């Protein structure tokens, strides 16, 4: 059974380290952090992370600063004040860059589509059905194995709902695979249109902070 493919948007976005949005992260850094959601479990290739908007990017990047709802409720109950996160946000974004990248609308796998989930179930030899939420939960074993299977099928990358930028943003992420480990070349043509310090994207940062409550 084949996966379901969809074309990339003409423009995709990225917020991350370095002023080259097309560069893949050093393998040593990936391994030290146990890899990202769509990284190959065995690091046979690297994954570049993009999104449908800069707001989605900033939500993904700043999500780790979001306070625990229980801890926040407890703080407010004790008469405390919501902490000012300006310094933490500034520190998180201080050395990052925001980028706009042009694509040729190449096809990628829509991994949460029923057809794709069924294809992955067969490839993985699963006896239980997968739900869309299995790809966005805090456990990353399923998405990482799905990325590996997609790569082996010759796919250029994966489209999936953002695990952090949920409703009402409903962000979408695009994970683009490297041709092979160390090549630093994507499986599809990508061209950088704009690169600037992340802190200059004031409106997108503000929207992400409102969504995250920071």
Please spell the DSSP secondary structure of 146-209, one letter per residue: HHHHHHHTT--EEEEE-SSS-TTT--EEEEEEBSSTT---BSS-EEEEEEEEGGG-HHHHHHHH
How far is residue 144 from each of residues 2, 81, 212, measured CA to CA in Å? 19, 39, 25
Query: What is d(CA 56, CA 165) in angstroms, rounded to the nearest whole number?
Result: 6
* DSSP track, 45-81: S-EEEEESSHHHHHHHHHGGGPPPHHHHHHHHHTT--
Lookup result for tokens 């229980």: 70
Which helix (H) or strand (E) segment holds residue 196: the answer is: strand 190-197
How confident is the model over 108-157, as pLDDT tens digits?
Answer: 999 999 999 999 999 888 888 999 999 999 999 999 999 999 999 999 99
Helix (H, G, I), strand (E, B) or coil at 113: coil
CA distance 35 to 184: 17
Q: Give the rounded distance of the alpha carbon of 79 from its chain centre.
A: 36
Three-class SS of residue 118? helix
| Euclidean distance between CA atoms 158 and 148, whole angstroms | 11
Which residue, 89, 95, 105, 101, is CA-closest to 50? Answer: 101
User: Is this prediction's pTM over 0.75?
Assistant: yes
Predicted pLDDT at 79: 66
pLDDT average per 10 residues of sequence, the chain (214 residues): 93 93 89 86 95 98 83 63 83 94 97 95 88 93 96 96 96 97 96 96 97 91
pLDDT at 22: 93
Report the number of distinct structural domains present in the chain.
Answer: 1
In whole angstroms, what is the distance from residue 188 CA to residue 190 CA? 6
Q: Which domain does 39 fall in, by range?
A: 5-212
């Amino acid at each position: 059974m084949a996966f379901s493919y969809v074309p990339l948007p003409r423009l995709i976005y990225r917020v991350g380290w370095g002023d080259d949005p097309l560069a893949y992260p050093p393998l040593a850094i990936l391994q030290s952090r146990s890899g990202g959601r769509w990284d190959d479990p065995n690091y046979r290739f690297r994954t570049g992370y993009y999104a449908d908007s800069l707001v989605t990017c900033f939500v993904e990047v700043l999500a780790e600063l979001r306070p625990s709802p229980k801890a926040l409720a407890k703080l407010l109950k004790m008469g405390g004040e919501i902490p000012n996160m300006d310094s933490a946000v500034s520190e998180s974004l201080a050395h990052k860059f925001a980028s706009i990248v042009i694509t040729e609308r190449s096809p990628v796998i829509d991994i949460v589509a029923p057809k794709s989930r069924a294809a992955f179930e067969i490839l993985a030899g699963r006896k239980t059905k997968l739900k869309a939420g299995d790809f966005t939960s805090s456990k990353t074993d399923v998405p990482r194995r799905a990325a590996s299977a997609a790569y082996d099928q010759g796919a250029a990358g994966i489209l999936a709902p953002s695990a952090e930028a949920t409703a009402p943003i409903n962000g979408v992420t695009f994970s683009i695979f490297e041709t092979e480990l160390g090549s630093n070349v994507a499986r599809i043509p990508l061209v950088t249109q704009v690169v600037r310090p992340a802190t200059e994207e004031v409106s997108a940062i503000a929207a992400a902070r409102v969504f995250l409550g920071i």
